[in-house]
Amino acid sequence: MTAAQPKSVIVTGGASGIGLETARVLTKKGWTAWLVDLKAEALEAAGRDIGLPPERGIVCNVSDEAAVEVALAKCCEKGTLAAVVNAAGIGLNRAALDTTVADFRRILDVNLIGTFLVSRAAAKYWIERRLKGSIVNITSVSGLTGNEGRAAYGASKGGQTVLTLIMAAELGRQGIRVNGVAPGPIETPMAKVMHSAEDRRHWIERIPLGRYGSPEEIGHAVAFLLSDEADYITGQILAVDGGFLHGGIHSSAVPPTR
């Protein structure tokens, strides 16, 4: 990719958190970013923040099939769509027995069905035009392990993870790569709502690097998976979690080194 021939990337959930910072990273690397989110005011503010023209912010409910088709068409009017980052997501920290069916469906609609609809629309666009493309889904470590309080959220992210693997297997021969980035605890507006002070203490105790990550760090991982350097990588879930998934137990026989 060169500055003279920028490639377009759609970032859902692009008005805040991981989506916004990923769009910022990609813009700095020469991509033409399109932000897709639910709230017009937030999109306008996000666009100003990273220096995008207003038309690059598209209001869309990713769980609405017709709205997704319209949004994709707008993003593809100028330039060639080369990539999609599915960062739109909502969270819930609630025990399984206290989770309502309405809560569960709401989480699945945005996190899982939204990812499916956007990915499917983009893949059809590429296949119809015989183009290569790349999809990166922002999953979660909560979709890879049994974190308490994540019945709905973890199930949606687990489904997103398996969807990533299936679409990678189905679309590879068409030149479409599909990967996922599974963040651990990241300093986002959603984490501030979902994580109490006690939650934060428990997370940090389990993270070998001893801290929360930043949205920008997720953006850099996404940028790598979208880059030409990752052209032989598909069907992978990259955990960007400070070592959380493999942190293991804490032993009194091994004193802390920090």
Structure tokens at 75: 């993003």
Taking the mean position of all CA atoms in its chain, how far away is CA 80? 21
Closest C-alpha among 5, 40, 7 to residue 26 = 7
Q: Is 150 helix (H, G, I), strand (E, B) or coil?
A: strand
The DSSP element (H or E) to which 113 belongs, if any, is none
Q: Which residues contact 76 (CB under 8 A, 6 or more apart)?
A: 8, 125
- Residue 189: phi, psi to the nearest 5? -55, -35
Q: Are 187 and 207 in contact (CB under 8 A)?
A: no
Q: Are 189 and 151 in contact (CB under 8 A)?
A: no
Taking the C-alpha atoms of residue 111 and residue 232, their distance in angstroms, rounded to an integer, is 27
Which residues participate in catalysis according to the annotation?
A: 153
Taking the C-alpha atoms of residue 70 and residue 234, their distance in angstroms, rounded to an integer, is 28
Taking the C-alpha atoms of residue 65 and residue 243, their distance in angstroms, rounded to an integer, is 37
Taking the C-alpha atoms of residue 243 and residue 206, their distance in angstroms, rounded to an integer, is 8
